[in-house]
Chains A and B, each alone.
Chain A
Amino acid sequence: MSKPSDLIHGTLDLLILNTISLEPQHGWAIAKRIQQVSNEVLQVSQGALYPALHRLEQQGWIRSEWRVTEGGKDAKFYTLTRAGRTQLKKELAQWERLSNAVGLVIRLARETA
């Protein structure tokens, strides 16, 4: 399924938190949104998405409630909690650091090559 690029381990949480930071979303929408925004590069498998959502909920970062979608169906919407917002900031900063570091290393390797 998600052959092109498996998510880098640990980044799924970040993506989910980031995606619902704007507005509450249900699982399907979250997956779709990640897919669209990344230009179909990032594919979130259901097998990874729902366990991650449940884990985040259990940790208190997000909260869920049943709402009616625009299409008139019941869906479980996930909202960021205040604790989750703090957590998101933390993870973003960490990601920033990590990607900068990776970029640096790669650039350095190119230049020396």
Chain B
Amino acid sequence: MKTRIQSLLMLACGFALGFSGQTNAAKTTKIVIDGSTTVGPIAKAFAGYAMEKNPDVNITVSESGSGNGAKALINGACDIADMSRFMKPNEFEAAVAKGVLPVAHVVAIDGIAIIVHPSNPMAAITLDQIRDIYMGKATNWKQVSGPDKQIVVIGRDTSSGTYETFESLVMRGEKVVSGAENVGSNGQMRQRVQTTDGAIGYVGLGFIDRSVKPLKVDGIAPDMGEVATGRYPIARPLYMFTNGYPKLGTPLHAFVTLYLTPKGQEIIESIGFVPVTRY
């Protein structure tokens, strides 16, 4: 009996040693990313590229919303917070109080496209008309020189960064009508608009595909060129926040500067956002 226990103990020790030896040899760096569902695709594509280039880096990307990303960074639960809006003053205060110094990296620019069902004959709309529709002043498409059809107004829930950008760039302090439907993500928005005849909605530029129809806003089409030059009226920068500027040469530093490289630019363009640099 005793000998058996001894041998078991030795075996366990052996395992423990073996495992610790393994982890020591690998020296894996872990990068945890959390935050906006809009920035999430960029972070995921960057993570795929970074892990392929450097197998010792292990990157996990979650998408729980800009606010949750900020919270996670403040609480030390992540290394990078993806955010589709800038950090709010109270978030900064909370961060500084916890000894976290947020540094913003603008990784790309995102245009918010106004989308309608493909069967809708409208091709252009003005910012004022969009505001009227979301305020509930215009309830039929013919009020904004469209067909005679009831407008189904679809917005994003107040916890999304896309909502906040829309609110500040389009609504400008006016309230969204209480009868507006709310959805939880860009993908769900596209799904709702592509299946609803009278619908109007808004998504990030990267989520436009053939199933929905983007409208020109104030005469300018939501495409990469117009957003990059700043002519398209509903556009915003996308951020990654780190705690202080990362130590030069670390995998984290390489990751948050990836957007400056031609490869990073290519990745950002391939998922439908507009790069900050033009090579």
Q: Do A and B make up one complex?
A: no
Which A residues contact B (CB, under 8 angstroms)? none
Which B residues contact A (CB, under 8 angstroms)? none
